[in-house]
Structure 1
Amino acid sequence: MNKSNLLQNLNNLKLLPSSWAVKNFSDVVADNSGGNKKLAKSNFLDEGDIAIVDQGKDLIAGYYSDPDFMVKAKPPYVVFGDHTRAFKYIDFPFIMGADGTKILQPKKSNCNSKFLYYFFLSINVPNAGYSRHFKYLKTLKIPLPPLETQKKITRILDEADKLQQLDKQLIENYDALTQSLFLDMFGDPATNSMGWRLSTIEKILETKSQNGHYAPRQDYIRDGIQMIHMSDAFYQIVKPGNLKRVKADERLILKYEIKSKDLILSRRSLNYEGAAQPCLVPEYDEPLIYESSLIRLRPDLDIINTTFLFYFLNNQRARQRYVLKHVTRSTISGINNKGLNAIELLVPPINLQNQFAERIQAITAQKKQLQQSLVKSEELFNSLLQKAFKGELIK
């Protein structure tokens, strides 16, 4: 019988070297979350004396300067996001972000904190939505080799982790470079520091902005036309190939087709800042259409370059100055065609916009190579991680 559960394969525990022990979670891990003051997100600062760690994906969520809020236990810690399932290794004093932040530490000196962190990364915490997930951790069986073996495993995984973190950092550097390039070539969009001509979205389009197609459930079929949905447009560029397909005749395709020089924007979002977010579409060898939660912009390429338009609409200063005032605030924030068309934007000379797009293309090519490197470094790390907790990494 295959003894496994949602989190770990229990059969692997039987194959561990004889020098390893297997302990219940409650015997190894202390939950030191209680008794600490928690800071509401509305009080997070961009600068301060003490870092704030919450359950979000970023290592540090903000800063604050009141030492009364510092976690009482001494570092290091493993921080677990009770809602997000995120694990973080924290080796410095910090302040807890409110709600969902769990502080975990070994109960005894026979367990290394970093080893415990890597063990948590090796398990599969089920996704229960925005529910509590700590209950799953409490069912774990924790494999514990001798302390010296834990330290050896930790050193190997540290080196593998450095490789993937370096790739991630280099990719982030390229992302920052694109924003710096925009500012260098066009100045601060909020103040129009270089004095470019102002226009509106409506006046720089080849055709009117167009809401997408609504397809009823029965129109989704295996051999239809690929349709871009909101979930496909979250990451700034659509990745065709595995999109849902719908029935669409020539009339629908003609009306809703999306091309590589077009831009799509989200019509609505659960948060205010998420509405009117732009997304690029790559060259593709079959027709693509888009659904009704999205709006298509087809720029007049004699006036505006699609890449420039994307980076303008994605620039935080430009969004604050020109875009977000046209977004409605409600439970689901949104923008309609009237508001979208009224958005003002800078219109530098088209040759300068085209130069910007060429440089972005070169940066994107280099970034793609790094992303391929990241895939390999992540595969290596995950392979070593799995071997480590099967007792196969250190003989």
Structure 2
Amino acid sequence: MKGVEKVERMNLTGGKKEKWPMVRLGDVCQIVSGSTPKTHVSEYWNGTVKWVTPAEIKIDSNYIHDTDRHLTEAGKLSASLQLIPKGTVLLTSRAPIGKVAIAGDDMYCNQGFKNLICSPKIYNRYLFYFLKKNTHYLNSLGNGATFKEISKKVVENILIPLPPLPEQQRIAAALDHVNSLIALRKAQITQLDMLVKARFGEMFGDPVRNFMQWDTLTLNELCDGIGDGLHGTPTYNENGNYPFINGNNLMDGKIVITESTKFVEKNEYNRLYIPIYQNAILISINGTLGRVAYYNNEEVVLGKSVCYCNLKNTVIKVFIYEIMMSDAFKEFLESASTKSTIKNVGLKAMREYRVILPPINLQEQFAGFVSQIDKSKFEIHNGLTQLKILKKSLMQEYFG
């Protein structure tokens, strides 16, 4: 094969290294894109023809069997769309670059893709994982002033290690197995969260409608202070040790540092310091509403999208947290938010929110139940972490 390079990879069935040829994707795949029929022509839309857009490809997407929008035959013909056969690897080429899934049925797409129809030389699941591993690399290939995009030519020239087809299938099967275990652990965590919600409902009912007629107090009466973070931009320092937190950093009851999190240095942290209690709860009130996390003495700078509630020491934090995680509380946030482009809930509305107060012994009983559930979740999370490490290791071994 012209221009073939060699790359060493571990043989899955043994310990020796083999040299796998590096081939161009354009030599083993047909690259196809799509387009959008005129949106104002009603005859082109709401038919039976599946038509996918990049927004439908999520970070954990696997197979796409149906699409949000459907075209008519006239719409398909008007845009001269090329069929994406079942089994094609879908690759978003802009806004954003690098999201991947596999077509679970025949479909068509808009112009935001460079999809790969696999030849008999390459297994689609193997290619799927290769692209998953190389998201950052794919983004580095993007060009464009307004937004980055990768061209058909760029995708055709990407090199991929190509072991024999049975080896590709074994690699994909190994990663599929790890993925299935990861999905199982996530499902177990979800089930435990649902169990907590069900227990809360059994014990206390709807916290807004309050059919059980519990006593209520405002959230402000339960706190020694309710406020939000910095209305402005701090002085960032890439060598700083103090993260600047917004609502997107509140995940699964914790403050989570992401790749996009920025940091400040000690002096800036001291200047912006807000006293937050150990017994505090954080809620996102700007942009994405209703993300909730416990505060555990982390040294962070809060942005304006984060509201802190310094709960009094006599308040059962787990009970209040579950109220804030309820659908009823999220409905309150939506109803209390401004109707502008970016949703925002004012501190006045937060302070005036009325919280049910069942007898303290019932709150403590619920907190004990949650504590037992958390022990189970901790074990599952540990297993999930190990599986993610294993998957990362395997991806590195197979694809470098």
The bucket for the TM-score relative to the shorter chain is 0.7 to 0.9
Cα deviations by residue, 1:37-93 (Å, 9 ceiling, x for unpaired): 799xxxxxxxx9x99781223536987696859994332232233334454443622
- Equivalent-residue separation in structure 2 for 1:179 and 1:36 (angstroms): 43
- The 8 Å contact of residues 268 and 334 in structure 1, kept in 2 or not, is answered as yes
- Equivalent-residue separation in structure 2 for 1:12 and 1:372 (angstroms): 40
Query: Which shifted more, 163-172 or 368-377?
Result: 163-172
Q: Which amino acid aligns with 2:128?
A: Y
Q: 1:171 to 1:252 in 2, by over 3 A?
A: same
Q: 1:194 to 1:80 in 2, by over 3 A?
A: farther
Identity within the alignment, %: 21
Q: How does 1:281-292 map to 2 (within 5 A)?
A: 281-282=295-296, 284=297, 290-292=302-304
Q: How does 1:217-256 map to 2 (within 5 A)?
A: 217=234, 226=242, 229-230=245-246, 233-235=249-251, 236-238=253-255, 244-247=264-267, 256=274
Cα deviations by residue, 1:352-393 (Å, 9 ceiling, x for unpaired): 222222222322232222222222212222222232246xxx
CA displacement at 1:125 relative to structure 2 = 2.6
Cα deviations by residue, 1:211-254 (Å, 9 ceiling, x for unpaired): 33568756979788x565216733131259x964443799976x
- The 8 Å contact of residues 228 and 291 in structure 1, kept in 2 or not, is answered as yes
Q: Which amino acid aligns with 1:121?
A: K
- The 8 Å contact of residues 278 and 310 in structure 1, kept in 2 or not, is answered as yes
SS state of the match for residue 334, structure 1?
Answer: coil
Q: Which amino acid aligns with 1:247?
A: N
Q: Does the alignment pair 1:182 with 2:200?
A: yes
Q: Does the alignment pair 1:300 with 2:316?
A: no
Q: Which of 186, 201, 210 is the matching residue for 1:168?
A: 186
Q: How does 1:56-71 map to 2 (within 5 A)?
A: 56-59=58-61
Q: Which of 161, 168, 175 is the matching residue for 1:143?
A: 161
Q: Which amino acid aligns with 1:229?
A: I
- The 8 Å contact of residues 290 and 330 in structure 2, kept in 1 or not, is answered as no
- Equivalent-residue separation in structure 2 for 1:38 and 1:177 (angstroms): 47
Q: Which residue of 1 aligns with 2:375?
A: 365
- The 8 Å contact of residues 247 and 291 in structure 2, kept in 1 or not, is answered as no
Q: TM-score, normalised by structure 2?
A: 0.72
SS state of the match for residue 335, structure 1?
Answer: coil
Q: 1:257 to 1:291 in 2, by over 3 A?
A: farther
- The 8 Å contact of residues 4 and 23 in structure 2, kept in 1 or not, is answered as no
Q: Which of 157, 171, 194 is the matching residue for 1:153?
A: 171
Q: Which amino acid aligns with 2:174?
A: I
- Equivalent-residue separation in structure 1 for 2:353 and 2:193 (angstroms): 25
- The 8 Å contact of residues 55 and 101 in structure 1, kept in 2 or not, is answered as no
SS state of the match for residue 268, structure 1?
Answer: coil
Q: How does 1:32-43 map to 2 (within 5 A)?
A: 32-34=32-34
Q: Which residue of 2 aligns with 1:278?
A: 292
Q: Does the alignment pair 1:208 with 2:225?
A: yes
Q: Which residue of 2 aligns with 1:29?
A: 29
Query: Which shifted more, 68-77 or 342-351?
Result: 68-77
Q: Does the alignment pair 1:336 with 2:346?
A: yes
- The 8 Å contact of residues 115 and 151 in structure 1, kept in 2 or not, is answered as yes
- The 8 Å contact of residues 267 and 334 in structure 1, kept in 2 or not, is answered as yes
- Equivalent-residue separation in structure 1 for 2:347 and 2:216 (angstroms): 19
Q: Which residue of 2 aligns with 1:261?
A: 279
- The 8 Å contact of residues 57 and 101 in structure 2, kept in 1 or not, is answered as no
Q: Which of 378, 387, 390 is the matching residue for 2:397?
A: 387
- The 8 Å contact of residues 196 and 348 in structure 1, kept in 2 or not, is answered as yes
Between the two proteins, the alignment pairs up a number of residues equal to 360
SS state of the match for residue 210, structure 2?
Answer: coil
**RMSD of the TM alignment (CA)?**
4.4
- Equivalent-residue separation in structure 2 for 1:215 and 1:333 (angstroms): 17
Structure 1: give runs of 5+ residues left out of the alignment: 1-9, 40-47, 391-395
Q: Does the alignment pair 1:93 with 2:111?
A: no
Q: 1:81 to 1:184 in 2, by over 3 A?
A: farther
